[in-house]
C-alpha cells in the first residue's frame, strides 16, 4: 500500500471520536441507573442497558430481542445483510459467508497471506528504529488482509482502504457513509461481473455462485455482504491490535512477560478485548414487552447494549479499570453473544497473534515514545488509539 492515504489522519479521527474515558460514567450508570431511557430522534425511546447480566441476556435471547432494529439506518448504508435478520433467514444468509471465515480456511492463510503481509509492512519501518504504528501498521494490515480475501486487486488497496474507513464511520458521518456505500457498490459491481466470467479463489467469486434456498443471490444482497465484511474482517482487528499494543506498551512489565512467554499472548488478547472493547454498543429491538433491570421496555423499543460497560462490571471483573493479563479469566462480551456473535472473531484473533509475535520478534526493545503527542485510547461507539509512536533498536 502506498502513501496515497494522505488524509488518513482525518479519517482515523472521524472514525474514533473524541471521548477519552467513558468508564467512570458507565460505572455510575451501573450503580444508579442500570437502564436509562432517553428520547431519541424521530420520537422513539432509546433504552441503554449497562450491567453485564442485562447485556448478556439481551444478546443471547434472539427470539425476544430482534436485530431488525438495524434495518432503517445501518441497512440503508450497508444494504441487505444478515446483520438485520433473525431466525432461519439469518442462519441461512450468515452461512453463505460463514464458510469464508471457517478455522480450517483461515489456518491456510496464516503462512501464505497473513504473515507475509505483516512482515512486508514491518520491513518498511524497521530501518528507521521508530514508527507510528497506527498509521503505518495497525490500520493498514487488516484492510490488506480483508481486501485480499474478498478479491480486491492490489492496485486498488488505497481506494478500498479509504472507502472502508468512511463506510465504517457511518455513526460519525451518515452522509459520508452513504457516499462510500454507493462508491463501494459501483466498485464491487465491476469485480462481481469479472468473477462471474472467470471465478478466482476469493469471497466475491464464492458469492457470485452462491445460492440460498436454490436461488442465486441478488447483486445488492452480495454488495450488502461485502460491505458488512469490512467491519467484521478489518475494523475489529485494527482496533483490537491497537488497544492491545497500547495496553502492553503502557504496562512494560506485562509487555516483557508476553515477550518472554508467548503462551501469555492469548490471555493478553482477551484482556485487551475486555479492557477496551473495539465496539462499545450493540442494538436490539424487543418483539414483546419486557422487563429489564426492573423497568418496563415496550415492544419495538430501541435497546442499546453497552458492551464497554458490561466488560467493566465489578460484579464480574475484579478491578475492571486495570489492564491485567494475569487476571482470573471470565467471559467478556466484546464480540457480542448469541447467534449474531461476531463472524470475524477467529480471524481477528489469528491476525492479532501473528502480528504481535512478529512485532515482538523484530522490534527489539520497543517502547512508547510520546514526544509532544499524547497517545491514548479514545472513542465512544468505537475505541482505539489514534497514535502509537514507538522507538526500538534498528535492524
CATH superfamily ID and name for 8-391:
Cytochrome P450 (1.10.630.10)
pLDDT class of 103 with cuts at 50, 70, 90: confident
pLDDT tens-digit readout, 58-67:
999 999 999 9
Helix ranges restricted to H, the chain: 8-16, 23-32, 52-60, 74-78, 87-98, 103-109, 115-125, 133, 140-150, 157-168, 174-197, 203-208, 219-230, 236-249, 252-260, 265-275, 307-310, 345-362
Q: Quick one: average pLDDT of 359-376?
A: 92
Which SS3 state, helix, strand or coil, does residue 340 take? helix
Query: Residue 390: which H helix or E strand, with range?
Result: strand 389-391
Average pLDDT, the chain: 89
User: Which residues have CB under 8 Å from 128's CB, separation 6+?
Assistant: 394
Q: Quick one: average pLDDT of 74-87?
A: 81
Q: What percent of the chain has pLDDT over 70?
A: 93
Neighbours of 148 (CB within 10 A): 19
Q: Quick one: average pLDDT of 243-269?
A: 98
Least confident of 80-89, 284-293, 352-361: 80-89
Least confident of 37-46, 198-207, 298-307, 332-341: 37-46
Is residue 35 a contact partner of residue 47, using CB atoms and an 8 Å limit? yes
Least confident of 87-101, 104-118, 231-245: 87-101
pLDDT class of 228 with cuts at 50, 70, 90: confident
User: Which residues have CB under 8 Å from 53's CB, separation 6+?
Assistant: 313, 315
Using alpha carbons, select from 221, 222, 237 the residue that is nearest to residue 106: 237
Question: Which residue did the predictor score with more confidence, 323 or 210?
Answer: 323
**Res. 100: pLDDT tops 90:** no
- Cα(334)–Cα(344) distance, integer angstroms: 12
pLDDT class of 3 with cuts at 50, 70, 90: very low
pLDDT class of 4 with cuts at 50, 70, 90: very low
Is residue 265 a contact partner of residue 353, using CB atoms and an 8 Å limit? yes
- Cα(207)–Cα(54) distance, integer angstroms: 37
Query: Mean pLDDT highest for which of 68-72, 161-165, 226-230, 389-393?
Result: 389-393
Query: Does pTM top 0.85 for this prediction?
Result: yes
Report strand pairing: 389-391 vs 35-39. Answer: unpaired
What is residue 201's DSSP assignment? S
Q: What percent of the chain has pLDDT over 90?
A: 59
DSSP string, 268-304: HHHHHHHHT-SB-EEEEEESS-EEETTEEE-TT-EEE
pLDDT class of 105 with cuts at 50, 70, 90: confident
Question: Which residue did the predictor score with more confidence, 367 or 171?
Answer: 367
Q: Quick one: average pLDDT of 296-317?
A: 96
Amino acid at each position: 500500500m502506498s502513501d496515497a492515504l494522505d488524509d488518513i489522519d482525518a479519517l482515523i479521527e472521524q472514525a474514533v471520536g473524541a471521548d477519552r474515558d467513558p468508564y467512570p460514567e458507565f460505572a455510575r450508570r451501573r450503580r444508579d441507573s442500570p437502564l436509562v431511557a432517553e428520547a431519541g430522534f424521530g420520537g422513539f425511546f432509546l433504552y441503554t442497558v449497562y450491567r453485564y447480566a442485562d447485556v448478556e441476556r439481551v444478546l443471547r435471547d434472539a427470539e425476544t430481542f430482534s436485530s431488525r432494529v438495524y434495518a432503517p439506518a445501518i441497512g440503508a448504508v450497508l444494504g441487505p445483510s444478515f446483520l438485520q435478520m433473525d431466525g432461519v433467514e439469518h442462519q441461512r444468509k450468515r452461512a453463505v459467508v460463514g464458510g469464508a471465515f471457517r478455522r480450517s480456511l483461515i489456518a491456510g492463510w496464516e503462512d501464505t497471506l497473513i504473515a507475509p503481509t505483516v512482515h512486508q509492512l514491518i520491513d518498511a519501518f524497521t530501518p528507521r528504529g521508530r514508527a507510528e504504528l497506527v498509521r503505518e501498521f495497525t490500520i493498514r494490515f487488516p484492510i490488506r488482509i480483508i481486501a485480499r480475501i474478498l478479491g480486491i486487486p492490489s492496485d486498488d488497496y488505497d481506494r478500498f482502504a479509504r472507502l472502508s474507513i468512511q463506510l465504517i464511520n457511518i455513526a460519525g458521518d451518515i452522509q459520508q457513509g452513504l457516499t462510500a456505500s454507493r462508491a463501494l457498490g459501483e466498485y464491487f459491481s465491476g469485480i462481481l461481473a469479472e468473477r462471474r466470467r472467470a471465478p478466482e479463489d476469493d469471497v466475491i467469486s464464492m458469492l457470485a455462485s452462491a445460492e440460498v434456498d436454490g436461488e442465486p443471490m441478488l447483486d445488492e444482497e452480495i454488495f450488502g455482504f461485502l460491505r458488512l465484511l469490512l467491519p467484521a474482517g478489518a475494523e475489529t482487528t485494527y482496533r483490537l491490535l491497537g488497544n492491545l499494543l497500547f495496553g502492553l506498551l503502557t504496562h512494560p512489565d506485562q509487555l516483557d512477560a508476553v515477550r518472554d512467554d508467548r503462551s501469555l499472548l492469548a490471555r493478553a488478547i482477551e484482556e485487551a478485548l475486555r479492557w477496551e472493547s473495539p465496539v462499545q454498543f450493540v442494538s436490539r429491538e424487543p418483539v414483546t414487552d419486557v422487563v429489564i433491570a426492573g423497568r418496563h421496555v415496550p415492544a419495538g423499543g430501541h435497546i442499546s447494549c453497552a458492551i464497554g460497560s458490561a466488560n467493566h462490571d465489578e460484579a464480574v471483573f475484579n478491578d475492571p479499570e486495570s489492564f491485567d493479563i494475569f487476571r482470573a479469566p471470565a467471559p467478556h462480551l466484546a464480540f457480542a453473544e448469541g447467534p449474531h456473535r461476531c463472524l470475524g472473531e477467529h480471524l481477528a484473533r489469528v491476525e492479532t497473534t501473528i502480528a504481535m509475535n512478529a512485532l515482538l520478534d523484530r522490534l527489539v526493545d520497543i517502547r512508547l515514545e510520546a514526544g509532544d503527542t499524547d497517545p491514548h485510547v479514545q472513542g465512544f461507539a468505537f475505541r482505539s488509539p489514534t497514535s502509537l509512536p514507538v522507538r526500538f533498536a534498528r535492524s
